Structure 1
């Protein structure tokens, strides 16, 4: 783990301290304990899985790699595999993790395909077909073909033939070893002519190591009882009982409870390079199949062959003595009592961060200019519908799982068909020209209410149409349209610039401005207990899918922060006869 991961891991445990203490005293709370385990697993994979951790505004950069120990190792592995012409299946449990991995592949400019539960059937078949195509003799391996296939374990566990890959990397492990085993079999099919290397990335001394050891026990039990050829068809193996609290506490003695120090990247880089080289070299010279080795940064010079029957217990239960367990509970109690004072100290520092007079003067000037503009608009009879940018809650619950994103078929300008008798915000992208467009969403919104076009054109007339602005137009005649007595709004997000001198006057969607507008729309939806309805933005069948996945990541982020529902609409096209 790197420093940021340690901070997130420890902050989760600090926050859940009251429930941990209650569970340690024998209180029943299986569901509560499961939630803590899920959050700890996220911290082990990547801290950006929690809303608000990543830098704002978000831009792809080296911070994406340096924030996670797993990502640093993965970077070294893929660099060597790409150089030597291998092709990789990269599995993860959560689609959010796939989003981060996709950003990483975009950063390193690796070609890839992606498959998860949200991918439609035609896209799935196209991705498999693209990855399975053999590179031409004169193009070289991995030139013009997908180097990595990103797959969620559950979506890609059954029914695929991906023998074009000869390396399988599990970024996250499943509680049920048979699920990972099924996923690995995607490369062991007729037509596979290479040795397949399987790599599991596990964060040592954390809940992930507990999951790995328990998976080995289950696999051993399956082999002893029913043989190696039988695969479990059900059971996720995710049950956590109150008696398993010590599994959460496993490895905490490796951390500093008060502060997580950043490790020197330069001092560790040579060890990480040696680790990656050691792993890659295991493809040759094994002598027999299905041999398992464990390699970690503390033992790079040798490879320890794993006997599942022994490794499942050695090194895990030895650390779970009762005395050590109780002492850690006492340390957490002391830490919980002092955490409130620490948070108050941080808040007081934040208030006095910039006390210089010049900053105060600048803010005062901006405030006066804004007041003058509002007075002018008021005298001319104009009232701005632009939404102020909300301040994200400093003390917000970054581990909250509330809020959700749903994919549906239909027309997003008719949200009553999905959410009858509920307030709704229809989200649409516009440019800063002040000229209403034609076709598609423009026609649908024009048919919905004439006040929408009027509000947009008046905003342009009074100079109130800038990139990043979100104009929230209340539809007054919703009841007359037969939509009930509840309220709808249309959120016009100004995320495209317009220049008539360009060959294509309207620019592409600006992702930073889109994020600002999504933040405003999500805040407004939370304030009005409404859901957001919008078309699939930034996606075309002919273009790269990366833009849409960046948008989807923002949607999930703000749905989680504000605890709202966001509906993404696919337009069902009529099939020509």
Structure 2
């Protein structure tokens, strides 16, 4: 790992050493160095899977040995990383080794999040991949008994909260927490600062005081010091000692898939309980007030009640009536009996509950009927307008609910992966000219709802291939036939055609353009709705689906969520699915050919 990291470390030193006073550069430099510590290798897309994925990183080498040690012993693992790019690499590693896994990070929506948690709790899934800050209500992962941090967060409380996922109510096994740290790297400094922060928090919160003046806090480290830390050892060391690690002696004993718990000495526990008993909150000046009240306490309480009654009697005939009514006695001091409501019988409660449910259902039904009548009237009006203009819509109909339910039942569950069924073929080539056999080929392109055909990229490639896409899309925009989630499907064989099979184009409306003509990003809900409609059409035609690498080179694009939707609605239903990477440098591009990946 040190040999691979050396060029990365020196490059960061050259580009960041001159700007070590900036806080933004400091944070960015530390984050980049942590990425280097986790996985320094970089490959162009599409990635080639192989043993070099493990050999390029010391952490992955050690993680490979850890998982090989834990799996045959029946342990289940939570694998945390604060970087989603590292989770992508770990996901490729899980597919390569054949480990069953689930994944949750900030890009996973609520429905998929709860499904992944449910699958991990009910199925024998080995690894759960999470980002350190992924959370939410219901994140209970007590099925795991081993927590592994691939990298450490700058805020130690985030790591503690992440590890607590396995310590929820219902956990009856010992939990082992393992943290992977690069020796002589910035990670050692991050962990040292985290330990100091936790010690300070323990002193303030548990001790209730902080001694000032005895020890001055250390000055903030400059970026130059962080960059220089461990550099001499990095340059003087050549190999790695991962192969010499004895995991059983480090991790401890394990029996029947559970870690052996370390029992503390009884004397220490007894002394701690005794000390706590001496300092509890009800002990004051040698008297324990946590016991039942004495006779003196009862006598004092009665005197207070009598005093309150006397004051009320003296002021009852003085001043305004409303003002006197405002002086309400303290509850419990005066024996005034309040009028209580009549208790309902179980039959009456059940009857009232049924009436409320019936009324709510009736209101919901009336609102639904009103909405349907309004939509039907608008649709009839639109159809009449289309007929007067001799317009024929190319939009696919909505997927039938019964057919959708049947297909979902036949589809495999995501996460517990069957790579042969849910595979996506990654191809290097031009998606405007799909590599298909005798079957029909459907080319997919995402557009917005403005009706204005774009320029450059796939827009220009499709316009060169056929004149139909621009004409049909712009006409649909004029006729108000573009809404989020709709799909326009039509053939594009007017200029070029294959000897066998037809080429069709599916335009999925997945973006919205506002009044200022600014397009939004790809909306995942609209994309999912379009993929559902496309799935039914492609399956009915027995066609293959060809997509570009959606969102390629777009900063912050959720490719993991998009790939999951494509696999869920296309590949997992038995539809041949291909994703194309366009070779920018055609001279250096390798021959086009599909490579299986899942």
TM-score by length of 2: 0.48
Q: Which has the larger radius of gyration?
A: 2
TM-score by length of 1: 0.50
